[in-house]
Every structure is written in structure tokens, then in C-alpha cells.
Structure 1
């Protein structure tokens, strides 16, 4: 007779909601639901009850169900139905992290940027810039396949993940372009934080980002410095070749060149 008792893998039980604690990876990888999305989940749970128990480790660390726990607190619950995952606890931290991320990816409609954050979090990467050339290329290839993007876009998403959440949220809401968000990643940490603070205070992300990014000099502006003689000569030669080839030249370029020539003639005379 076999007297061995099989290992307990999972157990359903009610736990005091105050004893549960969020997994630290959850805040790094995902945002809490807010606004209409949170209210929709709250209304559904209030109407139908908790349809899926919260997965936790034996010590009360939440694996899946962070948003359900927040709803329970909003509704004034003192206890919540849980499924204690002895199997994941025995499998180790990597298995727990994978289960946490996969549950969120499957349950929530995540943007490519949000999927990028989850992808990096599950690999324990906080700063992809610290990866070596070969490692980074491999990482971007895997990420591109994971989120359905080319390597160039994957690189941009990784850079944007390094900006404050306010910038990331503005990008996800379509308030700033991927190009603008990527340029914000080039700003100093202090400037990024100042920008995030202003957005949090209600400022327009598009207007604030546009004002914060360095401006490119307008080559056709009236107040541009005069070109030196060698550049004027080269520009005239290029203009002559363009005219012979029938190429179109912007009137502003012609005007700027004419001003430079006139100023040069005035100096020589």
C-alpha cells in the first residue's frame, strides 16, 4: 500500500482582504485600471459577484487579480475568495512572474507599449541600454515578434518605456506621436520629470512636449546668419546644376541665397 500523501498544488479558501499584498512586479509591468474601465469591472463584480478567485501565493502575495482586489476594497469587502498556488510557490519566482504577466496579457487589452513594459519586466530588464550590442539586437528581435513591430519600432518602444508614465500614457492615448515620445527620451531625467509634473497638473501633453523639445533651426528664416563665401559659391553651383537638370528649387531657398549674395556684394563694394 502506498502511504505517500500527494502534494497539495492548489487550494480554494477565503482570505481577509487586508492580508493580501500586491506583487512588486505588477506595478512595474502594468497600470491599475482607472476611469470607465475600472467602473465597468466594479459594476460587473457588484452585479454577478466574483467569477474568478484571486490567485495568491501562500504568504498572500497576489499573482493574478490585483484589480479584483481593488474592486473588493471599493465595495467594502472584508474577505475575498482566493486560490492558493502552492504549485507556483514551489516552482520559484520566475514561474510566478511568468504567470502574473501572462494572466494580465490574456485578460486585458494591452497596447504595444504596455506589452513592451510587460516583456521587459518579465525578463527583469529595467534599462535596455545596459544590454550589449548583440544582446540588445536579440532582445529587440524577440520584442518585435512579441508585439508585432519592426526592430526600429521595437527600439523606440523600449526607449519610451524609460520615460515617466505620464509621457507613456500620453502616447498611448494618441496625444503625442511615437516620434515625439522617442525624442522626450533624449531629454535629461530632470527635464522629463518637469514635463511629467506639468502634464499631471493638467497641461496639454502635445503643447508641453512641443515646447520642451529642442527646435531645429529654420534654414529659410530671415534672421539666419549669412553664409560664408565658399558656401555661397557652392550653393550657386548646385543651383545652376539643378536648373540645368530641371529640378525644382524652393522659393525660400532662392530668397535666402539672394539675400546672402546681396549682403556679400554690399560688403565688397
Structure 2
């Protein structure tokens, strides 16, 4: 850089005698009006150091291409290259190459290659400096005026960079000429409207294999635009299924339909994934509920069993104690009653013993009380036994409910596994949605029919019976006959509708409970097995 800076200073000091000077040429160190306008209208130029534009000759061995050049631009055609080579061989390089302080070429890659082919040792350059984003922007802005790139993908990559760069510069509000709206961005990039500009930027979302088809002209840009909306994995699958020839043969309409169908299938897949997640959540909730219910059932059953056993043991002990006491008293009572003569003699001849008499009376009262206690305890024991049977029945019912829930959970797990292993096509999803809608409609209409029939029987049972029986008789007035005929017609339509509904209900019941006897509706609202 010291040698380059010295060359610049010498060229500036010597005026037209500097490298590249000569009669009729502009003095080094000055830019043309067009170059000055272009250099300082670039977004980001305000942050640059001074742009050194003096013409300097640098050895070609020091120069290196910009790493983004091959990504943004295609080589010229053989005819264009040969024309430029003849011009350089005859007149030399008239416009200096633009390079950075580390000799990275910004503008002039093709001229540098031709100079090396022609054996040039040095080439004229202009030193430009700035941040990396600005230099990349300058690479695009300067070369777009010199080179025509026919590759839509390279153009799309340049457009993407320009979009991001201009948005950044617009947010920083650094340059008055920076485009602010979408239309200004498109116009600045060389498009007639913003739709074309953003369509070009969208091509960057294609996978590399499809970008190559667009670059080679095998896949149209319009068709590729539709495919760019697909996720990368779907683009790869599409390429695997159709192959390069199949993808290249897609029309615009086919690409649009493919995008639409794949997006629909993706939404259905996402809906199925959400449904599977919901089923997983329901499964976890059911498992937790089942575990909780089993724990509660076990705890309640064990507690109830212990309480019943303890209470039964206490009652049996108390009953046995009362029975023993009663037995003793009955024995004593028998002893007293076994000697009636002695008692009469004792009562008539001898003075009765008040103590013995009181003891006998007390024994009788105690015997009566014990009999009552025995009856009460036996009744209470029967109640405890009945309560035990009820709780055991409740426990069995809970066990059956647990078993039903377990079977339902197993069924739900099997259904979940089946849905995971064999995903259904979109047609199945639509048929399933139609099935759910029809079931919901049938449920709603069935409820409405039940409610209407209930109101009819509750409010107009007599009128309904009269309409079913009255047929009209000779001698009635015409108006009454007309009313009778109207009621008869309404009843006939009503009965026909009921018959049709009943037949459909029997058919549905046969589907829901196959193998069971069919039900026939009889008069009076009863059913019999068919």
C-alpha cells in the first residue's frame, strides 16, 4: 500500500505525465461528472473515506477476484469476450479497474482475465474503500452497467442483496437517494413493477438443484416462482418423484396446481398432527384419571372393608355378650318357674321374701330389656350387612367402570397407533368431515323430532287421537267435512313420516348393534323383538 500511495502522489504531482496520462486524456485525480454522480449516489457512500480515483498501474499478480463475482455474474459469451479482447489488444484498458486497498477487484474481472491472457504485466486501477457491504453493493451497481447476465438465479441473488441493503440503508436514513417504498426498490433494480422484483427475489428460496434447472433454462421462472413457496424438503421430494425431466417439463399451471395441492396436503398433515397431539394429551389425561380412580377405588374399598369388618366384629361381640346374659337370666327364670307349688305355699303359708321378689322382678325386667337389645342388634346387623352388600355392589360397579375406561383407553391407543402407522389420504379426511357433519345433523334433527313429538303428546294428545279416529259421517256440514278431511290428510302425512323415521332408526340400530333382534314399533309406544 505504501508503494501504491507513492504512485498516487507522484501521479498527482506530475499531472498528465502520470501513468496512463497522455494528450487528450483527463488529468489523473479527477472523476468525470458521470462517475462522480454514480460514486456519491450509492447508499452508504456517506460513510466512506475519500474515494481514490487516480489511475495507477498495479501488477496483475497482486489482483484477486471478489468472492461474490462468480455468484452474481456469468462469464460473457465467446463472441462478447472475443470482441472485448480485440479492443484491449488494440487500445489497452481504457477504463481503470476498481479495486479495494487489499487489491480485491470490484469492477473489471473480465478485463483482468483478458489482460493476463495477452501478457500484460500491469493494469490501471482505481482504489476504492468502504465497509464490506458497500463494496459488495458497488460490485453490483458498477457491473450492472457493464455486463449483461442472462442467468435468472444470479440476478435473483443480486436482487436479494440489494433488497436487504436498501432496507438497511433506509432504516438508517443515511442517503437522500436511498429507495424507501417497494415500487422505488423495484425501479432502482431495473424492474417495471414491484411484483416482478419480488418474484425474482423469491427464486432464492429454491433448492440448489432447482436453481440449476432455472439457470440452464430448463425450468421457467414463472413455474419456478410457484415451486419456491414449497418447503425445501417438499422441493426435494418433488424432484425425486418427477426427476429433472419431469420438473423441467412442468407448465406454469401445473406448478401452481402442485403448490396448491401440496399446501392443502400440508395443512391437512398439520391438522392431523395437531389431532394426534390432542389424542396423546387425551390419552395422558385418561391414564392419569384411570390411575387416580384405581387408587381411590383401592383406598375406598380397603377403608370400607376395614370399617365393615370392625363394626361387624363389635356388633357380633356385643350380641354374643347379650345372648350370654340373656341365657343366664332365662335359666334363672326357669328355675323360679319350675317350682310353682313351693311358690304358692311360700306366698300363702309363708311370708314372701321381699328381697327375692324384687330380685325376680328385676330379672324379668332385665330379660325383657335384653330381648329388646337383641332384636335391635339383629336389626342393626341386618342393616350393616345390607350396607355392606350395597358398598360391595358399588365397588363392583366402579371396577366395571375402570375396566370400561381401560378398554376405551386401549381402543384409543390402538386407533392412535393406527392413525400414526397409516396416514389417511386427503379424500379420507373430507369423507370423515362429511361423516361428522351428517352425524351432527342427524343428532340435531333427532333431538328436534323427540322434542316436537313430546310437545304434541303433552299438549294435543286428544286432538291427535281424534284426527286418527274421525273419518267423517253422512249428514255433516260441508265446512266440518273439509276440516275433518284436512285433519285426516295432516294425520296421514304425519303417520307416513313417522313410519319412514322409524324404519331409518331400525336400520341405524341394526348397524350399531349387529346380530341383535330387530325392533318393531307397536301401537302404544311399545317395542317388540322382531
Alignment of 1:120 with 2:138, yes or no, is no
Alignment of 1:65 with 2:95, yes or no, is no
Distance in structure 1 (CA, Å) of the matches to 2:103 and 2:219: 39
8 Å contact kept, 2:53–2:126: yes
Q: Residues 63 and 208 of structure 1: is their aligned pair in 2 closer, same or farther, counting only changes over 3 Å?
A: same
Residue 190 of structure 1 and its aligned partner are, at CA, apart by 6.6
Correspondence for 1:103: 142
Higher helix fraction (1 or 2): 2
Distance in structure 2 (CA, Å) of the matches to 1:103 and 1:115: 14
Residue 158 of structure 1 and its aligned partner are, at CA, apart by 1.0
Q: How does 1:130-209 map to 2 (within 5 A)?
A: 140-146=182-188, 147-163=190-206, 171=214, 175-187=218-230, 189=232, 206-207=248-249
Residue 116 of structure 1 and its aligned partner are, at CA, apart by 4.5
Normalising by structure 2, report the TM-score.
Answer: 0.30
Distance in structure 2 (CA, Å) of the matches to 1:190 and 1:78: 49
Residue 206 of structure 1 and its aligned partner are, at CA, apart by 3.1
Q: Residues 176 and 76 of structure 1: is their aligned pair in 2 closer, same or farther, counting only changes over 3 Å?
A: same
Distance in structure 2 (CA, Å) of the matches to 1:32 and 1:193: 29
Residue 61 of structure 1 and its aligned partner are, at CA, apart by 0.8
Q: Residues 30 and 112 of structure 1: is their aligned pair in 2 closer, same or farther, counting only changes over 3 Å?
A: closer
Correspondence for 1:83: 125
Provide the aligned length of Structure 1 versus Structure 2.
Answer: 200
8 Å contact kept, 2:156–2:203: no
Larger radius of gyration: 2
SS in 2 for 1:24: coil
Residue 55 of structure 1 and its aligned partner are, at CA, apart by 1.5
Structure 2: tracts of 5 or more residues without a match: 1-12, 14-28, 30-49, 168-179, 262-426, 435-530
Q: Name which structure has the greater RCO, CA cutoff 8 Å, separation 6+.
A: 1
Structure 1: tracts of 5 or more residues without a match: 129-137, 218-224, 231-269
Q: Deviations over 1:143-176 (max 9, x none)?
A: 4223324333322211113436775575477643
Distance in structure 2 (CA, Å) of the matches to 1:53 and 1:166: 38
Distance in structure 1 (CA, Å) of the matches to 2:66 and 2:136: 9
8 Å contact kept, 1:54–1:65: yes
Distance in structure 1 (CA, Å) of the matches to 2:207 and 2:92: 36
Distance in structure 2 (CA, Å) of the matches to 1:11 and 1:98: 21
Distance in structure 2 (CA, Å) of the matches to 1:102 and 1:38: 21
Normalising by structure 1, report the TM-score.
Answer: 0.54
8 Å contact kept, 1:55–1:83: yes
Correspondence for 1:38: 81
Correspondence for 1:251: none
Q: Deviations over 1:27-75 (max 9, x none)?
A: 34323334433333333323433222212122111111011112223x1
RMSD (Å), alpha carbons: 4.6
